Amino acid sequence: MRKFLVALVAFAVTSSELGAQDPTPGVDLPTDARSPITTRAGGFVGLPVIRSTPTFGFGLGAVGAFLFQLDTVSPQSVVGVGGAYSDTQSWIFAGGGRVYFENGARDGAAGFTFFNLRYDFFGVGFGDGKADQSVPITQSGDAQMINFTGRLIGPLFVGPQLFHRGVATSLRDTSAAQNVLALAKTDQNYNINAIGVLTAYDSRNRSESPNHGTYGELDAMFARSWIGTDNSYNWYRGWINQYVDLTSIKSVLAFRLTGCSVDRNAPVWELCLYGIDPDLRGYVAGRYRDRTMFTTQGEIRVPLFDRFSALAFAGIGTIASSFSAIAMDQLLPSSGVGAHYLVSESYHLNVGAEVAWGINGPTFYLRLGDAY
C-alpha cells in the first residue's frame, strides 16, 4: 500500500516518504533531493497535476510550495501542500517540508498525509499475482514522518528517522476467490510506529532530470510495541540511481537498482510492492507483493526538437518470500517507450506519456517528472 499513495501524485518532499518507502518516483515539484534546486530566487510555486496509472486511473490535482534559502551555500528549502483525486474515487492530501542549513551540511524533513484509496488486491506471492484473481478494497488512513540527517563525508548523509502510519481496510466485494479474500481480511486495521536510520548519497547535478551523478538511499526501520506499534518487525529498503551524460548525442542514460526486505510479522499491506512507477513500469502497483523484492532497469532519454524528447526503457526483477527463494523462472520483465515535453526550463520539469509492457499486458502512464 505504501507506494499507492504516490501513484496518484508525489507532490512534496515528505509526501513520497510518508506514503512510500521510496522517495524517488516522478516528482511533481523538485523538492525531494539534496541537490540544489536550479532557480535563481525563492518564492511560491504552484502547479496543476495530471496523472494516469494502471492502479488508480486518471487523476487531477494541484500542488503549491514555498522555496527559500537559509544561507548562500545550502540548497533551497521548501514547504508545500498538495492533493489529488482520481476517477477511481481515490484521493490524497499531504504537506511537509525539508529545510537545509549550515551550508548544506544538515537538513531536516517533516510531513503528513491523509488518504482514501480504492484499488484491487491480488494476494501475496508470484502465484497469486499471476492468477489474475483480485478483490476490490478501500484503504483510508494517515501517516506522519520526521527525519534529520547530517553530512558524514562528502555527499553521504546519515541520520535518525521516525515514522507512523495508520490504515483501515474495507472490502468492496466478497465474491472473490477465497484465498485472496482471506488475506484481504487480515490486518484490516493497524498502526505502525517505527524508528530507524536513513542513509543517503547524492552527487547529482540537480534534483529534476539530472544528467550525471548518483543518487541512493537506504532505510533501516524498526517497528516496536514499546513505541505503540501493532506489529513488531523490521524493514529494509534501498535504491541507487546512476545518470550518465552522453554528451556526443545530447542524451542521458539512467540506471536504477532497488531492493526490499520485510520481516514475517509485517502486515500484508506493508510488504514489498512490485510495479510502482520506477520499479518497474508495466504492472498494476501491488499486483505482485511479497517479503522481498529486487528490480534493475535502464532508460535512455533522447532530445527530439524544441522541448520534446523521447525515451525507451527496459528492466527486470521479481518478488519472493526471501532472497534465497528468488527463482529465475519467476522474473518479471518490463519495457516501454514514451514522449516528454519540457514545461519548465528553470526546474528541468517534464510532462509526458509512456506505454509499458509487463507479463500481464500493456499499461499507460501520464506523469509530471521523470520516473526516477
Buried b (16+ CB within 10 A) or exposed e, 218-257: bbebbbeeeeebebbbbbbbbbebbbeeeeeeebbebbbb
- What's the pLDDT at 286? 87
pLDDT in tens, 110-143: 999 999 999 999 999 999 999 888 999 999 999 9
Question: Distances from the Cα of 167 to the Cαs of 134, 139, 162, 235, in angstroms?
Answer: 20, 7, 17, 18
Q: The CATH number of the domain where 199 resides is what?
A: 2.40.160.50
What's the domain count of the chain?
A: 1
Residue ranges making up the domain that contains 16: 4-368
**What percent of the chain is predicted at pLDDT more than 90?**
56
| Radius of gyration of the chain, Cα coordinates, nearest whole angstrom | 19
- What's the pLDDT at 350? 84
State the chain's mean pLDDT as an integer: 85
Average pLDDT over residues 5-11: 34
pLDDT in tens, 135-144: 999 999 999 9
- Per-residue pLDDT band for 198 (boundaries 50, 70, 90) equals very high
- On the question of pLDDT at 182 being above 90, the answer is no
- What's the pLDDT at 40? 44
pLDDT in tens, 10-23: 333 333 333 333 33
pLDDT in tens, 286-307: 899 999 999 999 999 999 988 9
Dist CA 211 CA 202 (whole Å): 13
- On the question of pLDDT at 43 being above 90, the answer is no
